[in-house]
Amino acid sequence: MEYLRVRKSPPLKGEVEIDGAKNAALPILAATLLCEEETILYDVPPLKDVQIMVEVLKTLGAEVEYIDEKTLKIKVEEIATHETPYELMNKMRASFLVMGPLLSRIGKTKTTMPGGCNIGARPVDLHLKGFKALGAKLADDYNEIGAEVDGKLKGNNIYLDFPSVGATENIMMAAVLAEGETIIENAAKEPEIIDLANFLSKMGAKIRGTGTSTIVIEGVERLHSAKHNIIPDRIEAATFMVAAAMTGGDVLIKKVIASHIRPVIAKLLEMGCEVIENEDEDEIRVIGKEKLKATNIKTLPYPGFPTDAQSQFMTLMTICEGESKVEETVFENRFMHVEELQKMSALIITDGNEAKVMGVPSLKGAQVRATDLRAGASLILAGLVAEGETQIYETYHIYRGYHDVVNKFKKIGGDIELIKE
């Protein structure tokens, strides 16, 4: 049995370097299946989810070599199988992203329903609708999903009912080797989509419009080798920015792209923090104040407020002056951290996808569990300011998205230890 022990800490001070973005690395790893030649990826975060994706690639026939902890050399001369094993799919939903590349390169793919964090329905219907529009025949068993195509996929116009990040990525990867032009409308605009498109373009794909709601892909015959640096993780950056704000600290966040987290910066300023940007160096300094003001947030697809920073901000709101509101519009079931924060004396009332947070003078340490990845991060933040000791169980969720989290917090003055019993 292991848990994270977090104790009330002084204001955090110092520097934190942000790792590469998990949500950019996973689709880019999947995209290496599209190319027979060698690709080299830098700044790949050494996380559990990335390890699972590497296992998926190896199962499918990839040769993967770690040049160092964050640099991978990948070569997929031949695809060994079109089936992704259930035990790997069940560990992580993002493993579903290999379907587009497999369909594109060998004309067939088969898998089971993807697993991962339990934060509500993430229907893969949009992905499948895209594959069908490109000419694939779907085999949809109860929990087995497959698609195959005779010959090559053919470009088409695809409208997404919701700007799903995963569906945009999967369809984009399926379309790069298709015949003719594919237009994805109501596409997701996240920075991670742009990063994937940049990688595909380096391999010879013809893509334009990423970062807007209409992406146009002109199919090419084949892709070639490329080298690529993964963008920094905007959610890890947001987490440490909130940590600085909560503890009244002064933290310099290095390797962060400010334009990727505009809503986070705006809300911290609104709450009374000082935020100093240095775009030339990709750095942001956050200086917290003793008393922060309440605010309201509403999660939205990018460029709106990120759902992945919602639980961290709700934790910050628990110690602000006044009443704050949170509206979650992206995922259902994303308030699982509320019950854990309530154990720490937070005053939160939820009603459907809305939450009211009344600021309290202080939180109190308790035994809590990390119900999902971001909830786990928010409990660390709560523990840093709570009176006494907080014990966070089910820590494996946290390691799915944060590398070396204990040492990063310790380095800036956080009183945090991993205890193994």
* CA atoms within a 13 Å half-sphere pointing along the CA-CB vector of 368: 33
Per-residue CA distances from 130 to 149, 183, 213 (Å): 13, 11, 16
> Cα-atom radius of gyration of the chain, to the nearest Å?
22
d(CA 156, CA 145): 22
Phi, psi at 206, each rounded to 5°: -110, 100
Token duo for residue 79: 């695809």
Catalytic residue among 35, 117, 273, 320: 117
CA dihedral 414, 264, 213, 35 (to 10 degrees): -20
Q: Identify residue 306 by its one-letter amino acid code.
A: P
Running DSSP on this structure, what letter comes out for residue 290? Answer: S
Q: Which residue has the tokens 């699982």?
A: 336
Which residues have C-beta within 8 Å of that of residue 413, sequence separation ≥ 6? 9, 10, 11, 12, 13, 14, 249
- Say how far residue 374 (Cα) sits from the centre of its chain: 10
Pick the closest to residue 346 from 323, 318, 320 (CA basis).
318
Residue 284, SS3 per DSSP: strand
Active site residue 273: no
Q: Which residues are catalytic?
A: 117
